[in-house]
Amino acid sequence: MLFVTALLWSTGGLFIKLIPWDAFAISSARSAIVFACFYSVGYRPKIQRTKSFALGVASFAMMCITFVVAMKLTYAANVTVLQFGAPIYIGLFGGMFLGERASAFDWKVICAVVI
């Protein structure tokens, strides 16, 4: 299953480029496939009726949609660079917006990811 996951994860951008649908249709189809996979193995997530849970769901949905939109509008390499830059952005902006300071270990890990 891990091999299949890695294969699908690696070829996701290719299929996004090849399918002639718009980004929202592809995002919806990807979500439906994931739902079907989870549902078929009996996974039933516990849905919480809290504001933070709803914000997390909305943020994840927007992340999935923007990933597909970016794949449709630019080269896959650009999207990959932006994704791998995420730890850097978190290290830099976490202090500005959340008041969290990145530790020396955090910066070492960020540097290792960049390399």
Helices marked H in the chain — which ranges? Answer: 2-18, 23-40, 51-73, 76-84, 86-98, 104-114
Binned at pLDDT 50, 70 and 90, residue 74 comes out as confident
Per residue in 94-107, pLDDT tens?
Answer: 878 888 888 899 88
As a whole number, mean pLDDT of residues 11-22 equals 87
Mean pLDDT of 76-86: 78
- pTM for the model stands at 0.68
Check if the beta carbon of residue 66 is closer than 8 Å to that of residue 23: no
pLDDT value of residue 1: 78
Q: Which helix (H) or strand (E) holds 75?
A: none
Angle formed at CA 82 by CA 81 and CA 88, multiple of 5 degrees? 100
Chain-centre distance of CA 97, in angstroms? Answer: 21
Q: Is the pLDDT of residue 84 over 80?
A: no
* 16, 58 contact by CB (below 8 A): no
